Structure 1
Amino acid sequence: MNQAWNRYAFVRFVIFMTLGIIAGAFLPYLITVTTVIFLILSLLYYFLFLKRGLNFNHSQSIVNAIIAFALCFTFGFINTYQQAEKHERNHLSKIDTKEIKAFKVTLISAAKETDKTFGYKSKLTKVKIANRWIDISGKAMLYFQKDSSSKTLEYGDILIVKSPLSELEGPKNPSEFNYKRFLSFQQVFHQQYIPSSHWIRKTANSANIITSYSIKTASILEKKMTGYITNPQSLAIAKALSLGIKDDLDQELKTAYATAGAMHVLAVSGLHVGIIYLIISFALKKWRNRKGKRFLFAAINILILWGYAFITGLSPSVQRAAMMFTFIILAQAMKRQTNIYNTLAASAFALLCINPFLIFSVGFQLSYLAVLGIVFFQPKIYKLMQFKKAIWDKIWAITCVSIAAQLVTAPLGLLYFHQFPTYFFLSNLVVIPASFIILNGTIILLVFSFWELAAKWIGFFLDHFIQLINYLVFSLDYLPHNTIEGVYLSTFESWLIYGIILLLALFIAEKKLAYFQTIVIPLILLVGSITSRQYYNFTEQKITVYDTSKEHALSVKNGYKQYLKIEEDLVQNKNKIRFHIYPSQLKAGLVDFNPEKFNNDNQSKIFKDFKGVKFTVWNNKVVSHWYEPVDKTIRLSKPIEVDLLIVSNNAPKSVDQLLELFNAMKIVVDASNNYYKIQNFKTKFEEEKINYYIVPEKGAFEWKL
């Protein structure tokens, strides 16, 4: 085992550097101590290196290894701290962004188009505060009002924007996706919507010239493709698969491919770069192992791979894949006595040195895990069955690739997406060969785009071929139990599953029963974690008033039963329900909740309606939901005593009317009320010393009993 581990130097380096990166991201206040330790370890390692010479015993080897791993850990920590822009002295986070009157900014990404805006990641260089311009550093997401002017914006444009900035907010609802943390790993901490009249272009296209031409090239190729593929869904698939442009993918397509377990085909990444690599390798196979030609083979391969990355706009996923294959090609060309695991680890090590925050990218995690799974498990699964006919052998080989990749990526898929496609092996039999044909077809189309007649026929073939593939993918929707949905998995539980997979892999590789026996430890912890969560969910009783920006939504939960009331406008917005409400439903174990099929009429009627006000008694607590205006002529001898009053839709005409009708122990004002009404409520509540809670300011209200 020791000798085997000696072949995996970079694997060990990456493991310890990754631990250092995680520590550096979440424990930055330890930077001084870590830097001192790094310097001491560096000197100690250098001293031991000089002292040992060429010969050293086993104990010295262990000491040197421990120091080397500690150096990797501390280097990862320090590198993460240094590359975290928020630690810079003049960073945007050091000032009150509400005082900003204007700012100077450079657009550093391609546009992300939505129905109403063009979104750009932007780099700030100056801000205006109190009539004085000061130098600043920091990034922000800017969303420009969609019109003819903003349509002309491009990567590299320098703008003067008259607007303040808003700091990104954390999740407002229980278990909601943390968009703030997601963008923080991209060094983005602020955002702002920019109306048309609030910006002017100072300089056009002044950023990185390579990235600029890459984005322009992708845009030109997109326009060429648009002229020859007429079906909107076929065009969307072709652009996503070949150029990585996913803006035109509608929700129907995304859902169908996700359900089929084929969503990876629509994101240009390792699969697509691998196809390019296979094409080149096949075309130049005679040079691959020849002594005088293999470096030329490597150079051409690397040049074409990075050329493909260039025409896709140098997206991070393609750059990662190109870097991965670059290391593999170089290792093959140099005939190094290494292995694929060490080569993959070396590419990951290089990428993490450049950008340590990649370790928090879902794409980075899935890419490397999928490749590792395929490299290790695919050959072993493939040997389980033998077929004499070539066609069945190819089908079995592709199936083995799908199974191997799913085996190691499934825990992450459940953690992030809460679903598992049961027919992934069928869909991949279609989409993997199809992606090979579509990618080659689009390249041929672009090459022959100057010859209109040929381009039309190629476009016609691609159009109808993609329609056929879409039809097959959509057909999987009609199969029974095509997706296991509503699965909740905590981060700790996903780590336990990966522990089981790792021990299983070690057992297969080393043939030692001890590894298989050790699986019982993470298995018991996994069962214990799931059981304790399920017991908590079964006994939990609470009321939740969600923060959904403009509409009201509340739930009354008693174990695995609940009443959920969502405003009708919100019911129609499935994406909003999935983002704000669905995560808490998953964690609570309410598996019967489906955002696509939710209907208020199917909910148990636990509230009694009286002239626009709902009442219920729950666990000896009186709860009222005031959601419609009531007749102002109604008079009561004394206010109604309630334990909790939820106010929605600006229902009370005034605060005085509310206090005349109700005497509430707690008043919750939800997000469906307008800003000015909320401010009036707050002022009066504070004067009257009333216990209140403002959902738009504090996030979702949870009342546990």
Structure 2
Amino acid sequence: MKFINFAIVKFSAFLVLGILAAQYFPFNFFSLHYLLIILAIVTGLWLWSRKQLIQHVYFGIATYLCFFAIGYFTHQIRLPQFQPKHYSHFISENKTDLVQLKISQILKPDKYYLKYFATVSAINNESATGKILLNLSKDSITKSFSPDESVLVYASITDIPKPLNPHQFDYSKYIKSLGVYGQLRFSSTAILKTQTGSKTLMGIAQNLRAYIVAKLQNTNLETDERAILQALILGEKKDIDKSLYNEYAAAGAVHILAVSGLHVGILYIILAFVFKPFLRWKYGVFFQAILIVILLWCFALLSGLSPSVTRAVTMFSFFAIAKLFDRETNSINTLFLSFFTLLAINPLWLFQVGFQLSYLAVFFIVWLQPLFYKIGYSKYWIVRKTWGIVSVTICAQIGVLPLSLYYFHQFPGLFLLTNIVVLPFLTILMCGGILIVFLASFDSLPNWLAESYNFLIENLNGFIHWVAVQDEFLFKEIHFSTLKVLGTYFFIIALALLLKKINYHRLVLSLVAIATIISIYTYDEFRYSGNQMIIFQKSKQTLIGYKNGKHLTIFKNDSILNTSEIFPLKSFKTAANINSYSEKKIPGFFSYNNRSILVLDSLGVFPKITKVHTILLTNSPKINLNRLIDSLQPNQIIADGSNYYSYVKRWEKTCKLKKLPFCHTAKQGAFPIE
């Protein structure tokens, strides 16, 4: 299939390039006027090219530039710096504002806060816009917020903090991919007024989902079983226990907990069967397609319009439209058409992991599954069906593997066994779950049906647990850099092209891909072979790391507790490609790169020395810092996260008076010693 000749594929590629350019190279001068100029040029070239017998390249170049400009412009107008009324322009330190909000989404709460997404409508009675994160203290609440509820609060808008340790998960970057650039932290005392706001489709869907969840809580469904049902049917994952979710991830079955194309496909089959009698009518095909598309979009709304379910419903909608108008289409073309449409509507989806994994999985299934299916074709029905599941699972795993390793750094070795067992029963679970949700909504769920579903989910969870505890088949802490992702996809595509058709050019391309992979792995080995010393930020604890090639030594005060798997060392070890680890007690005085470093703990005792380069203050030592600086004449002072804040503030003032560089890891982040 020469899908590369499809215009929509090329247009999608240039749209993506435009979005990426706007993300990493935003320019103030690029505005709607330039987009209109490019569109006018393209229109003129199109009118001119229609009169030409031999077409010129200029029209094609202008067309691609037009789609690049569309991608650039649609993304840039969503950046806060190009929105004059965005609330981020009102952010300033120690400033409290009167903020009017409308709740748009309820998030999973953490230990201390209830969390919400909201849209800002006004600040200090001035019109404002933008999506914001709300953190409402649990200790002070009398009731939680509901979607579409308007709230007036008196609080400070702050930036979402960046990670304080290297290679730590960047929550601020993740939440910016959702269009959120600030947050509010407040208690119930800061809430001045609440009232019901105007209704929205998303708000109605979320309130309906909350109503159904409340009804399910009153049934005989067990807690874990009900949480799985809510994830399967409603896309509601907030109630899933963290350990249970981790077991699904370790077993390679976490995709069934996220409403995606698999669930939409099963629902499509169910709806097609239910509405099959419509085909007997003259215009039955038309009404059947319209009803199915409407119900699929209702399901997508109810499940929260996640990138994966939106992608699936969009594709099914295009297939249905093509079928109605009796137009020939193919999966690749429809896939890229939905890809182009969704990114044109919301370019921020390009940076969301779920969106990336969803499209990669479907692309490789559509592209490679026919090849794999031919390899294992059998005349026996049961073998064909089993191999169909296996081939689809393998193709999807090939498509998402490099990106999964990059984001999650683990690979479930028993994913194939998990999917062979789980996928055939997913249809039963979906049908049963839909029936239970429907009956529970009207308080008509019989106990025997709830207990039967409990039994099915309990056995499913038991199987998942058995797979997850096979630790020897779960490969963790896999280092996978951006270059490795790109190189691996290059190799997969080159090899797939060679297997589809063996010729000289594709063989050369495969050899180049192999050489590229070898070069990338060699470069990564060289890049991470150097030495590094770093003072990590860890609350109430001192951690000093010394990286020597691929070995990491951690110096700490507690010689009993093993810290290799705790935050922030676990992510650092994976990202830095560490393969050996050891722990030692922190020395009172040591040298690194010809720089002497004095470590002062709570005792404040140090050896007789005349001068040091760096002083590290740990565990709140009771010292006269002013006298110590005069005595040792250090070049810089560092205080880690083990110190009291009152002490740190006093030390910071002293260093400021002495015009001496001062670093507090709890504020500036981990400190690398050069």
If the length of structure 2 is used for normalisation, what is the TM-score? Answer: 0.92
Counterpart residue number, 1:564: 554
Aligned to 2:377: 386
Residue-by-residue CA offset, 1:646-703 (whole Å, 9 max, x unaligned): 2223233553575599664432111232332212111112333444322223211011
Shift of 1:400: 0.9
Asked whether the equivalents of residues 669 and 693 of structure 1 are also in contact (C-alpha less than 8 Å), the reply is yes
**1:16 corresponds to which residue?**
14
Q: Which residue of 1 aligns with 2:486?
A: 495
Shift of 1:513: 3.5
| 1:685 correspondence with 2:655 | yes
The gaps in structure 1 that reach 5 residues or longer are 594-602, 609-613
| Cα drift, residue 217 of structure 1 | 0.9
The residue type equivalent to 1:526 in the other structure is I
User: Which residues in structure 2 correspond to 1:78-157 (within 5 Å)?
Assistant: 78-98=73-93, 99-128=95-124, 133-147=125-139, 149=141, 151-157=143-149
% same residue: 27
2:490 is aligned with 1:520: no
Trace 1:225-374 onto structure 2 (pairs within 5 A).
225-284=216-275, 292-374=283-365
Paired residues for 1:551-590 under 5 Å: 551-565=541-555, 577-578=566-567, 580-590=568-578
Cα distance, 1:355 vs structure 2: 0.7
1:162-177 paired onto structure 2 within 5 Å = 162-177=154-169
- Structure 1 stretch 621-630 or stretch 405-414: which is displaced more? 621-630
User: Aligned residue for 1:596?
Assistant: none
Q: Distance in 2 between matches of 1:568 and 1:278?
A: 59
> Aligned letter for 2:570?
Y
1:14, CA displacement in angstroms?
A: 0.8
The alpha-carbon distance between structure 1 residues 382 and 332, as it changes in their structure 2 partners (threshold 3 A), is same
Distance 1:648 1:348, change over 3 A: same
Q: How many residues align?
A: 673
Give 2:642's match in structure 1, choosing from 657, 667, 672. Answer: 672
2:394 to 403, 406, 414: 403
* Separation (CA, whole Å) in 1 of partners of 2:96 and 2:424: 53
Once residues 389 and 187 of structure 2 are traced to their aligned partners in structure 1, the CA distance between those partners, rounded to angstroms, is 50
SS of equivalent residue, structure 1 residue 137: coil
Contact map agreement 2:550 2:580 (CA 8 A) in 1: no
- Which amino acid counterpart does residue 544 of structure 2 have in structure 1? L
Q: Given the alignment of the two structures, is residue 70 of structure 1 paired with residue 60 of structure 2, yes or no?
A: no
Structure 1 CA distance for aligned equivalents of residues 300 and 559 of structure 2: 42
CA displacement 1:303-354 (0-9 Å, x = unmatched): 2212222332444543333222211222233221221111111111111111
Q: How many Å separate the matches in 2 of 1:294 and 1:303?
A: 14
Counterpart AA for 1:443: I
Q: Could you tell me which amino acid in structure 2 is paired with residue 185 of structure 1? A: S
Pairing 1:25–2:23 present = yes
Asked if residue 655 in structure 1 is aligned to residue 647 in structure 2, the reply is no
Per-residue CA deviations over 1:32-77 (Å, capped at 9, x if unaligned) read 3x766644443333223223437742x43x4332221111111111
Counterpart of 1:9 in structure 2: which amino acid? A
Shift, 1:447, TM fit: 2.4
Q: Which SS does the other structure have where 2:61 is aligned?
A: helix
Alpha carbons of structure 1 residues 111 and 147: separation in structure 2 relative to 1, 3 Å: farther
Query: CA 1:124–1:286 in 2, change beyond 3 Å: closer, same or farther?
Result: closer
2:599 is the counterpart of 1:625: yes
Q: Say if 2:171 is the partner of 1:179.
A: yes
Q: Is the 8 A contact 1:327 1:344 kept in 2?
A: no
Q: Say whether the 8 Å CA contact 2:160–2:183 is kept in structure 1.
A: yes
CA positional deviation for 1:469: 0.9
**Which whole-Å CA distance do the structure 2 matches of 1:379 and 1:700 have between them?**
50
* Match of residue 530 from structure 1: 521
Give the superposed CA RMSD: 3.0
- Counterpart residue type for residue 664 of structure 2: I
Question: Which whole-Å CA distance do the structure 2 matches of 1:574 and 1:435 have between them?
Answer: 38
2:667 equivalent among 682, 687, 697: 697
Partners of 1:17 and 1:424 in 2: CA distance: 34
What corresponds to 1:591 in structure 2?
579
Question: What is the aligned partner in structure 1 of residue 43 from structure 2?
Answer: 46
After superposition, the Cα gap between the structure-2 partners of 1:643 and 1:561, relative to the gap in structure 1 and judged at 3 Å, is: farther
Kindly state the Cα deviation for residue 388 of structure 1 after the two structures are TM-superposed.
3.9
Gaps of 5+ in 2: none
State the distance in 1 between where 2:621 and 2:450 align: 57
How far apart in 1 are the matches of 2:606 and 2:448?
77
Q: Secondary structure at the match of 2:371?
A: helix
2:184: which partner in 1? 192
Deviation at 1:568, TM superposition (A): 6.9
Give the structure-1-normalised TM-score.
Answer: 0.88
Letter of the 2:509 partner, please give it. T
Q: 1:640 to 1:467 in 2, by over 3 A?
A: farther
Q: 2:600 touches 2:606 (CA, 8 Å); kept in 1?
A: no
Give, in whole Å, the separation in 1 of the partners of 2:427 and 2:556. 45
Displacement of 1:505: 3.7
CA distance in structure 2 between the partners assigned to 1:53 and 1:343 by the alignment: 28
CA apart distance, 1:428: 0.9
1:635 & 1:74 partners in 2: Cα distance? 63
Q: What amino acid is aligned across from residue 628 of structure 1 in structure 2?
A: S
Taking the aligned partners of 2:664 and 2:470, their CA distance within structure 1 comes to 46
Q: Is contact 1:551-1:570 (8 Å) kept?
A: no
How much has 1:371 moved relative to structure 2?
0.9
Cα pair distance change 1:266/1:567, threshold 3 Å = farther
Instruction: Return closer, same or farther for 1:398/1:124 CA change in 2, 3 Å cut-off.
Output: same
> Which amino acid is 2:619 matched to?
N
SS at structure 1 position matched to 2:267: helix
Residues 1:453 and 1:295: Cα distance change in structure 2 (over 3 Å): closer
Q: 1:434 to 1:229 in 2, by over 3 A?
A: farther
Mark the CA change 1:506 to 1:389 in structure 2 (over 3 Å): closer, same or farther.
Answer: closer
Q: Which moves more between the two structures, 646-655 or 348-357?
A: 646-655
Change (3 A) 1:639 1:574: closer
CA distance in 2, matches of 1:200, 1:629: 49
TM alignment of 1:594-605, pairs within 5 A: 603-605=582-584
Asked if the contact 2:551/2:579 (under 8 Å) is kept, the reply is no
Q: For residues 148 and 25 of structure 1, what CA distance do their matches in structure 2 show? A: 39
Question: Against the structure 1 CA distance between its residues 4 and 485, is the aligned structure 2 distance closer, same or farther, given a 3 Å change threshold?
Answer: closer
Is the Cα–Cα contact under 8 Å of residues 157 and 201 in structure 1 kept in the other structure?
A: no
